[in-house]
Each structure stands twice: as C-alpha cells, then as structure tokens.
Amino acid sequence: MMCIHDDLTRALQVFETLDHAGQVEFMAMAAMETNGFYKHPRAASNWDSGTVEIKAYGIYAEGRDDADAIRNWTRAATRQANRLKNLHLAENLLRAPDNLCGADTGKLREACEIILTDSRDAGVRVAAARILSDLDAHT
C-alpha cells in the first residue's frame, strides 16, 4: 500500500516542473481526484468568501487569485509532506526492535516526541510514551 506522504511528495515534485497554466490544471485535477475542490469566487454572491479556495490531498488553502491560492497550498502541502515523512521515519524506528538497541538516545527521544505529537496509531503512541518514560528514568 502506498503512503499518502509518498503520493503528496510525488505530486509536489511533478507540480514544481509545471508553468502557471499547468499548475492550475494540475490543481484542478488533483482536487477532483482526491475528493477535494478548486473553487473560484462567485460574482455578486453575499455568501461567497471572495477568494480562490483549494482542497487537494486533504490540504486546504485559499488566496486572492489562482497564483496566491496555489502558492499557499504548495507551502502547506510541503510542510505536511515533511511532517508525514518525519512521522513515518520515527514510527519505523520504533517498530523495528533491532533499531532500538544501541540507538542514539537523542534521536530516539526525538522520534518518540514526533510520534506523540503526530501519530494516530495508539500502539505506537503507547510504545513511544513507554520509551520516553524509560529514557527520563535513566537520565
């Protein structure tokens, strides 16, 4: 199974190679394919935000125009992709018992803190809390 951060990272890599028109088209397709939206303001609507809104890959952004909304989405998507990559690496560290023996305690502590902050996996969160407790007891 493919990880969402891999899909998002790949999308960002492709996105970087496109000109503005290609980026607008890419965003519209990505929004449609990931059950999001790419909405332009409706003229003369009191209920409309008056901004371009994008939701793709579960990430929402808005802006004054296409370029602004796309720039904001790209920034948010890049932060999310990096956060998910770090979480994936941290979870892999804790799931492989061989990695724990002789591991750098600083890296282990950092991995546990990332997991406690960002992971949705209860089992991994419990393991991270236990490891942090053990590290605290030995310092």
Domain boundary among 58, 82, 106: 82
Contact 69, 51 (CB under 8 A): yes
Note whether 39 and 72 are same-domain residues: yes
Q: What is the pLDDT of residues 99-117, one digit of tens each?
A: 666 777 888 899 999 999 9
Q: Is the pLDDT of residue 139 over 80?
A: no
Domain boundary among 82, 102, 126: 82
| pLDDT value for 13 | 92
Domain tally for the chain? 2
> How much is the pTM?
0.77
Q: In which band, very low, low, confident or very high, does the pLDDT at 137 lie, cut at 50, 70 and 90? A: confident
Six-digit token string for 116: 């406690």
- Can you state the angle between helices 66-95 and 105-118, rounded to 10 degrees? 120
Note whether 93 and 45 are same-domain residues: no
Note whether 58 and 114 are same-domain residues: no
Query: Which of residues 14 and 50 earns the better pLDDT score?
Result: 14
| Residue 20: other Cβ atoms inside 10 A | 10
Domain span at residue 120 reads: 84-137
